[in-house]
Amino acid sequence: MKRVILISVLTLIVLFTAEAQQQILVENSWYLTELNIDGVEHPIPSNDEIDGVTLYIEKESENCYNFATNICHGMFAHTCNITDSQIVFDIFSFTTLENCDSEENINFGALYESFYTIHNENEPVSYTIDNSEGDIMILTVTNKLGYRATYINQSSQENMQQMLVENSWYLSELNIDGVVHSAPFNEEINGVVMQILTNEENTNCYEFITDICNTLFDYTCNITDTQINFDNIVATTLDNCWDEDNLEFSGLYNLFFMKNDLAPFSYSIDTSRANILKLTVTNKFGDCATYFNQTVSTNETLGRPITVYPNPASDVIHFDGDIINLKMYNSLGQAVKIGVNNGQIDVSSLGNGIYYLVITGLENARKVEKVIIAK
């Protein structure tokens, strides 16, 4: 008897969970934050033509729903087959929207449409909804090729501006013309921080500040949930950069902001990992600056925890964990080792002293480890 009751209770829990997932899916408007095609992340356009991409699944009848989303074209489908983890669409239909002229928007629109239309009739897409953060819910849709479209519920998007302002942002990398430049960490430059602070006299306006060799300042009263419009960025020179690599990176970083003129920057914040926020700022040329909230960038890595041993070391340093890249600096800020070979680096040629390992993990999260060479 007890076994029958237990099975009945478990069945009710499963049915309740399924209904809850479907209800969350249908009751929310979903705002696209990331499109990942074959491992490549494509930034969401946010410009004069496209101000975000929204997805709706609305109830039509007791068990049937209408699907709608749009970018350059309106894309529609009908389904009477939604489970707690899958959606099976009928044939898609399209309406032409005369709002796409730029090549960037047209190309992204084609990628987004093919993400769904690659499926034949009766082929499901899978989905998950992460509601562990309360009001902030994340919808991840995965197609049959494993490509992912990630959305955040529309009401949560209103919190983007608040998250942007409440956090200090630690630069991870610059992507200029498709070339990735990792942020420096050495004797001169101990990280690059960007902050957008609420103005004390006018709480509807904000002060922007970031620095590396130069400090960039601006004052703006125009920040939306997807865009930052700067008025007039001003640079002041700091006498703390002599290293050529630092000066070169500083020039790239300053130009990333300065060459945008008065055009808006688009931004998105990835909240898919608890307490780990990833900010991507994109200028009008498609160049990107990627930041993490400060605690993640300085103290945590994504993926398996990274272990460094032995410390002190004499000949070889070993590493366990998910390492994408590694640079080793001496106490003068000079790079003495780059990269890892079979989970280790040879330090036998280095002199005794203190060294710094800048380790890049998954998602470009960074960790700094101090090691001692003693022979």
pLDDT digits (tens, 9 = 90+) for 139-150: 999 998 999 999
Task: Enumerate residues 6+ apart whose C-beta is below 8 A from 120.
Answer: none
Higher pLDDT, 36 or 337: 36
Exposure string of 152-182, with b = 16+ CB inside 10 Å and e = fewer, is: bbbebbebbbebbeebebbbbbbbbeeeebb
The residue type of 165 is V
CB 269 within 8 A of CB 164: yes
Q: Say what the pLDDT of residue 27 is.
A: 81
The residue type of 22 is Q
Residue 132 has pLDDT above 50, yes or no: yes
Residue 287 has pLDDT above 90, yes or no: yes
Q: Which of 64-73, 170-179, 353-362 has the highest mean pLDDT?
A: 170-179
SS3 203: coil
Instruction: For residue 347, give both structure tokens.
Output: 């330090």
Which residue in 305, 47, 73, 41 sits closest to 180, CA to CA?
41
Residue 82 has pLDDT above 50, yes or no: yes
The three state secondary structure string of 37-56 is: ECCEEECCCECCCCECCEEE
CB half-sphere exposure, 117, CA atoms < 13 A: 16
Task: Enumerate residues 6+ apart whose C-beta is below 8 A from 239.
Answer: none
Q: Say what the pLDDT of residue 354 is.
A: 76
Residue 329 has pLDDT above 80, yes or no: no
> C-alpha angle with apex 323: 322 to 328, nearest 5 degrees?
150
Average pLDDT, integer, range 70-93: 84
Q: How far is CA 260 from CA 107, 114, 158, 223, 272, in A?
A: 22, 31, 25, 16, 29
Q: Say what the pLDDT of residue 212 is.
A: 82
Q: Say what the pLDDT of residue 10 is.
A: 39
Higher pLDDT, 362 or 197: 197
Q: Say what the pLDDT of residue 140 is.
A: 93
DSSP secondary structure string for all residues of 240-280: ----HHHHHHHHHHHHHHHTTTTPPEEEEEEEEETTEEEEE
**C-alpha to C-alpha distance for 335 and 249, rounded to whole angstroms:** 15
Q: What confidence category does residue 301 fall into, taking pLDDT thresholds of 50, 70 and 90?
A: very low
The three state secondary structure string of 286-309 is: CCEEEEEEHHHHHHCCECCCCEEE
List, for residues 189-244, the tens digit of each pLDDT value: 767 888 888 876 777 888 888 878 777 888 888 888 788 988 888 776 655 678 88
